[in-house]
Amino acid sequence: MSAGAGWGKSTLLVQRTEDLESDGVQVAWVTVPAHASAQSVWSSVLVALQERFAGSFPEAAAALGDLALPSARSTDEFVSALAGVLAGAAPIALVVDELQHAPADAVALLFRVVEEVGPETRFLFGTRWDPNVPLGRWQAQGMLHQVRGADLAFDEQETAAVLALHAAGIDDDVAVEVHRLTEGWPVAVALAGSALEHHTDPHLFVKEFATDTRPMADYLVTELFGDLGDELAQYLLDVCAPDEVTVDLALALTGRADGGAVLARWATTSAMVARYDHEPVTYRLHSLLRAYLRAEARRRDLPRWRRSNRIAAQWFADRGSLTPSLAAAGESHDWMLLTDLLERHGLELVMGGEIDAVRGALAALPHNDDATRLASRLEGVAAMLGGDLPGLRRSPPRLRPRTRGLRRLDGRSCSTWRARDWPVVDRHRSAPASRPRTHPASPTPTSRCSPTCARVVEARARRLPGSRERP
Predicted confidence at residue 326, as pLDDT, reads 92
Lowest mean pLDDT across 7-11, 64-68, 313-317: 64-68
For the stretch 337-377, pLDDT in tens is 999 998 888 888 887 888 888 888 888 888 877 777 777 77
Predicted confidence at residue 365, as pLDDT, reads 86
Predicted confidence at residue 126, as pLDDT, reads 93
Burial 347-369 (b: 16+ CB within 10 A, else e): bbbbbbbbbebbeebbebbeeee
Going edge to edge, which strands form the sheet with 121-125?
A: 26-31, 92-97, 121-125
**Most confident of the following: 119-128, 183-192, 268-277:** 119-128
Share above pLDDT 70 across residues of the chain, in percent, rounded to a whole number = 74
Which CATH architecture is the domain 9-149 placed in?
3-Layer(aba) Sandwich (3.40)
Residues in Cβ contact with 164 at an 8 Å cutoff, skipping those fewer than 6 apart? 170
For the stretch 28-74, pLDDT in tens is 999 999 889 988 999 999 999 999 888 888 888 888 888 877 775 57
Predicted confidence at residue 374, as pLDDT, reads 79
Tell whether the model's pLDDT for residue 189 goes beyond 60: yes
Per-domain residue ranges of the chain: 9-149, 156-224, 230-333, 343-462
Closest CA to 172 of 159, 185, 190: 159
Confidence band for 271, pLDDT divided at 50, 70 and 90:
low
Predicted confidence at residue 412, as pLDDT, reads 41
**Widest distance between CA atoms in the chain:** 100
**Helices 302-318 + 335-351 axis angle, to 10:** 40
Predicted confidence at residue 409, as pLDDT, reads 41
Closest CA to 241 of 319, 328, 326: 328
Predicted confidence at residue 184, as pLDDT, reads 87
Tell whether the model's pLDDT for residue 237 goes beyond 60: yes
Residue 273, strand partner residues: 285
In this prediction the pTM is: 0.57
Stretch 326-334: mean pLDDT: 93
Q: How many residues does the chain have?
A: 471
Q: What is the CATH code for 230-333?
A: 1.10.10.10
CB atoms within 10 A of CB 390: 8
